[in-house]
Amino acid sequence: MIATDLATVLGDRDGPLVSTAEHVLAALRGMGVDNAAIEIDGPEVPIMDGSAAAFIAAIEQAGIVTQPAQRRFIQVLKPISVKIGDSFGEIRPHANGFRAEVEIDFANPVIGRQSYAFDLNPERFRREVGRARTFGLMCDVARLWGAGYALGASFDNTVVFDDERLLNTEGLRYADECVRHKVLDVIGDLALAGLPLLGAYRSVRGGHKLNHAVLTALLADRTAWRVVEGEAVRRTTRPVAETGRGIVGGRIAAAYGPDVS
């Protein structure tokens, strides 16, 4: 992982890069997939509609199989916190699975302050978070384009605001879609631990950089976590091999930090 300003960029500085990986990683983690290989033929994961919905649909179409092994998790043992400017992030022990508590606070009056708490499971992820789209301000578009970012952004894949209103004619998918998308990003960014996390994560005015800073701090403190095993949380349907397409067997390794594979 080498960049986090506007998206999560994976790779080595002198080698191939894959940008905007957070939505497909969120779909895998949110749907309970922790063993997959992904083929990509370009430097950026397709933005699709700006959410994880297309990746969720692909996972459901392909099906998920339960392997003959127990799942492995990273269990958080003590609180770890990071402050970057006016952004604050903390991950702490949690008795039941993974929980995200996210708060955003924008000067833009249309977005304003929003908060959302979310206990991760596949059904809630699909229904409450997976369809939340990326968002931005119209005043930032020229700056982003000039820097070579968001070149494919449009009203079809981005929720756009000016100082007075939402500009997308079809409206929002959720009244608090912006903060729900931040939850989606949290799930994708923290998937880079390499194993599902058992803990609660709190983000205040955060983003990709804060998420990765907290995860880096957690993994750097070997007394703050341990690897545990447990039963798979879900069983499905068709083996992936029956579909001949989509997500196939493989693995996701930790992007950085201690080797927990």
| Predicted confidence (pLDDT) at residue 198 exceeds the cutoff of 50 | yes
Taking the C-alpha atoms of residue 159 and residue 152, their distance in angstroms, rounded to an integer, is 13
CATH 3.40.228.10 fits 10-242, yes or no: no
From 23, 181, 208, 212, the catalytic residue: 208
Tens digits of residue pLDDT in 110-121:
999 999 999 999
pLDDT in tens, 49-78: 999 999 999 999 999 999 998 999 999 999
Stated pTM of the model: 0.85
The mean per-residue pLDDT over the stretch 22-33 comes to: 97
User: What's phi and psi for 233, nearest 5 deg?
Assistant: -85, -15
pLDDT band at 14 (very low <50, low <70, confident <90, very high): confident
The pLDDT of residue 173 is above 80:
yes
Is 208 an annotated catalytic residue? yes
Say how many Å lie between the first and final Cα of the chain, rounded: 17
Q: Give the closest residue to 119 by CA, choosing from 195, 35, 198.
A: 198
Round to whole Å and give the CA distance between 46 and 75. Answer: 32
Spell out a b/e string for 24-45, using b for 16 or more CB atoms within 10 Å of the CB, else e: bbbbbbbbbbbebebeeeeeeb
Can you give the residue ranges of every domain in the chain? 10-242
Mean pLDDT for the chain overall: 86
